Structure 1
Amino acid sequence: MDEGTVRIDLWIWSVRLLKTRSAATAACKAGHVRLNDERAKPSAAVRIGDEVRLRHEGRERIVVVQRIVRKRVGAPAAAECLIDKSPPPPPREMLIPVGRRDRGAGRPTKRDRRELDRLRLHPKGPGDRPD
């Protein structure tokens, strides 16, 4: 590699798109990273002006490389190294569907628990009981 390039896994980690370098390498190997609309291996060379797409935690990050960095930098410096063209993240309520009980309902009764178990096991017919 010449002076104007750096490995994509190293760059993704350096600009804080992922927490660890091994996570960046794993994302590349799993096909979650695209460089200029092509699947990128961890050793792919990144240059200024390249577009990097990263799928992580249910959302896609689209960034354009502004500066090449080889060492992890702070958040303000990392923001200067890229132009973020990502769509806005979905609302928090849409990310984690959680079953909620009414406030003050307390623990489920034995009858409630049996109904929940029956729903989870999907019995074959009306008279079938899970054993």
Structure 2
Amino acid sequence: MTPTTVRMDKWLWAARFFKTRALAADACDIGRVESNTHRAKPSRDVRLGDMLQITSDAGIFHVEVLILSEVRGPAAVAQALYRETPESRILRAKAAEERKQMLELGAITEGRPSKRDRREINKLRGRIHRF
């Protein structure tokens, strides 16, 4: 029997947008997840047909929920849980191309960032650390 609703943080984790459920909950808490244009809390219920906007390190995803799941499975199964809008794919590809060009121009240095660089990157991305 399939559930009619699933917690937002569980679904985001099962759909492999975030590596852990705690990271999914943190993303909801800081406003990186919207459900039908409303800010989503980790405990918000996800239903079939919901339109989600998810901001992660990979970019901004606009997806429609197709299948509900509380279980994290292989990537191929996780991709079947949602359908990304064509506009979202185009925007993410464009952003990836811009990052690639900045790397080629030397605006972004290659290699591992220093501890100071990492702190600045985390500050810019609005990440919350659990310690």
- If the length of structure 2 is used for normalisation, what is the TM-score? 0.68
Matched to 2:27, the amino acid is: A
- CA 1:57 to 1:94, structure 2 compared with 1: closer, same or farther past 3 Å? farther
How far does the alpha carbon of each residue in 1:3-55 deviate from its partner, in whole angstroms, 9 at most, with x for none? 30000110000010111111100000000000010000000000000011111
Secondary structure in structure 1 of the residue aligned to 2:89 = coil
Which residue matches 2:100? Answer: 93
User: How many angstroms apart in 2 are the aligned matches of 1:23 and 1:68?
Assistant: 19
Q: How many matched pairs?
A: 99
User: How many angstroms apart in 1 are the aligned matches of 2:101 and 2:5?
Assistant: 38
Q: CA deviation at 1:95?
A: 6.2
User: How many angstroms apart in 2 are the aligned matches of 1:44 and 1:66?
Assistant: 17
User: How many angstroms apart in 2 are the aligned matches of 1:27 and 1:40?
Assistant: 9
Q: CA deviation at 1:57?
A: 2.0
- Given the alignment of the two structures, is residue 71 of structure 1 paired with residue 80 of structure 2, yes or no? no
What is the RMSD computed on CA atoms of the aligned residues? 2.1
Higher helix share: 2
Secondary structure in structure 2 of the residue aligned to 1:48 = coil
User: How many angstroms apart in 2 are the aligned matches of 1:29 and 1:82?
Assistant: 22
Matched to 1:42, the amino acid is: P
Q: Which runs of 5+ in 1 are unaligned?
A: 101-131
Secondary structure in structure 1 of the residue aligned to 2:42 = coil
User: How many angstroms apart in 2 are the aligned matches of 1:72 and 1:99?
Assistant: 35
Matched to 2:70, the amino acid is: R
Secondary structure in structure 2 of the residue aligned to 1:23 = helix
Note the 1:24-43 alignment, pairs <5 A.
24-43=24-43
Secondary structure in structure 2 of the residue aligned to 1:60 = strand
How far does the alpha carbon of each residue in 1:36-80 deviate from its partner, in whole angstroms, 9 at most, with x for none? 100000000000000111111272111100000011011111111
Alpha carbons 2:17, 2:56 under 8 Å: kept: no
Q: Which runs of 5+ in 2 are unaligned?
A: 111-131
- If the length of structure 1 is used for normalisation, what is the TM-score? 0.68
